Amino acid sequence: MPKVLAAAVVAVTLTMTAVLARAVTPVTADDTAHFLAGLPPDPQSSLSALTTIPYWRQHTRRFDSWFGREGTQLAKVRAFSRERLTDKHATMLYMFSGPDFLYATSFFPSASTYVMSGLEPVGDIPQLTGLSQGTVDQALQSLEVSLGTILNFSFFITKNMKTQLHGGPVYGTLPILYVFLARTGKTIHEASFVGLDEQGNLLQGSEVGSAEGRRGVRNAASQGVRIVFSDGGGPRQTLYYFTSNLADDSVDRTGLLAFCAKLGPADSFIKSASYLLHTGRFNKVRNFLLQHSATILQDDSGIPLAYFDRRAWRLQAFGRYVGPLGIFGAPYQVRMGELFRDAIPINFGIGYRWRTNESNLVLAQKVASATTDDGELAPRLPSARNPKASARSRRHVTNEAGVEPRPLCLIAGIFPFCSPGQTRPSQ
């Protein structure tokens, strides 16, 4: 064989070998997150070839529009965080969160550890390059449907997620977490399955997207995922999401509260929690949050105001409290009405009352002693006074917890819990 021809054969062989090697190299979690979020992955990634799929381009345009519109809302949330949440801690707890990392990072961007939990499955993201084009298209469509509610109203609907997050090879909260991480400018460095035993010890699993699946955590009390990421050139941060039932008869077996207790004082966030903490079935998680939180930021679906010890918590009200949506049958809180007489306005909507002029937030900060001699609510910070606020409040008969003794059944499919003996309120 002539030397020139031999050299050409060698060159072609080496080139094909390099191409094949690249094709079988697993893509990174960050590349996968970018692709699912409608953002271009690294040009050297084998996923870049999938960006020529017509539906991915349509997906990109749709997400660009949605997240562009959502960016205005989140910019206001981040401004609120900078002005009002000045005493932040290393740990951020978000119970009943589902995959809502979008608001977790917007309110608490500097936490070193985020712990989120819900009934929704962790799910999985296989190597996308091994899927058919039709399957990839279907996965992108499912993401769009799953994200539609939160990007329009700031909350997920659990009834919908029960079907949306279970189908296909790309399923669960994991792909949504990836999208939110990518669309908020985060770089994912590691993503792996983890678990908890009943004592709250962390069990190590395999890398997301690897062939091993959940080897090592299959029998865990709680299945979870750990994602290590950074914001630009900032420090690395860790996000945990665990599938855990937080009801009193189940939560001890999950190991979740024991795990969180090891992380020290936390900033806790509660939003669109289906008023579960108003029932008698979630006493343990409610008490845990009150005991282990340095700060609690919540809407009215969180811990009822009556459970905050007036000697230990300083409360600030933001927005407007008009009471729960009728579909929940949850009680109006008279003490919330009193607290919100001089609330500070907010310029964004959040929670079930997602319209700007109806949304509410309570910021509870733990202090050594914050009671007054006359037994009034803990005095609000000077910045919380609003002389233009209305002095009107609603008058209701209440029970010992400061809420109306109305039947409570969490309906409309928002969360699948109904306490024994409770009835569906009339419509």
| Predicted pLDDT of residue 382 | 37
Picking from 167-176, 189-198, 252-261, 417-426, which range would have the lowest pLDDT averaged per residue? 417-426
pLDDT over 90 at 69, yes or no = no
| Predicted pLDDT of residue 284 | 98
Please list, residue by residue across 51-80, b when 16 or more beta carbons sit within 10 angstroms of its beta carbon and e when fewer do: beeeebeebbeebeebbeebeebbebbeeb
pLDDT over 90 at 353, yes or no = no
| Predicted pLDDT of residue 413 | 34
> Could you tell me if 362 and 339 are in contact, meaning their C-beta atoms sit under 8 angstroms apart?
yes
- What mean pLDDT do residues 146-175 have? 62
| Predicted pLDDT of residue 150 | 57
CB-based contacts of 2: which residues, under 8 Å, 6+ apart?
Answer: none
The Cα 334–Cα 393 span in angstroms is: 8
Of the pLDDT bands very low, low, confident and very high (cuts 50, 70, 90), residue 368 is low
| Predicted pLDDT of residue 20 | 38
| Predicted pLDDT of residue 167 | 62
Average pLDDT along the chain: 80
The Cα 95–Cα 244 span in angstroms is: 10
Q: Would you kindly state where each structural domain of the chain is located, as residue ranges?
A: 28-384
State whether residue 4 is helix, strand or coil. helix
Of the pLDDT bands very low, low, confident and very high (cuts 50, 70, 90), residue 234 is very high
pLDDT over 90 at 387, yes or no = no
The Cα 230–Cα 188 span in angstroms is: 7
CA neighbours closer than 13 Å in the CB half-sphere of residue 425: 16
| Predicted pLDDT of residue 325 | 82
pLDDT over 50 at 88, yes or no = yes
Of the pLDDT bands very low, low, confident and very high (cuts 50, 70, 90), residue 402 is very low
Picking from 128-132, 275-279, 410-414, which range would have the lowest pLDDT averaged per residue? 410-414
Rounded to whole angstroms, what are the CA distances from 34 to 37, 42, 208, 239, 323? Answer: 5, 9, 15, 17, 39
- What mean pLDDT do residues 58-80 have? 90
Instruction: Pick the more confident residue, 47 or 166.
Output: 47
| Predicted pLDDT of residue 328 | 78
Strands (E) in 140-265, as ranges, are 186-196, 202-207, 222-231, 236-243
Q: What percent of the chain has pLDDT over 90?
A: 60
Picking from 163-167, 232-236, 269-273, 289-293, which range would have the lowest pLDDT averaged per residue? 163-167
Q: What is the pLDDT of residues 181-215, one digit of tens each?
A: 999 999 999 999 999 999 999 999 999 988 777 77
pLDDT over 70 at 156, yes or no = no
Most confident of 19-28, 31-40, 60-69, 321-330: 31-40
| Predicted pLDDT of residue 342 | 92
Q: What percent of the chain has pLDDT over 70?
A: 75
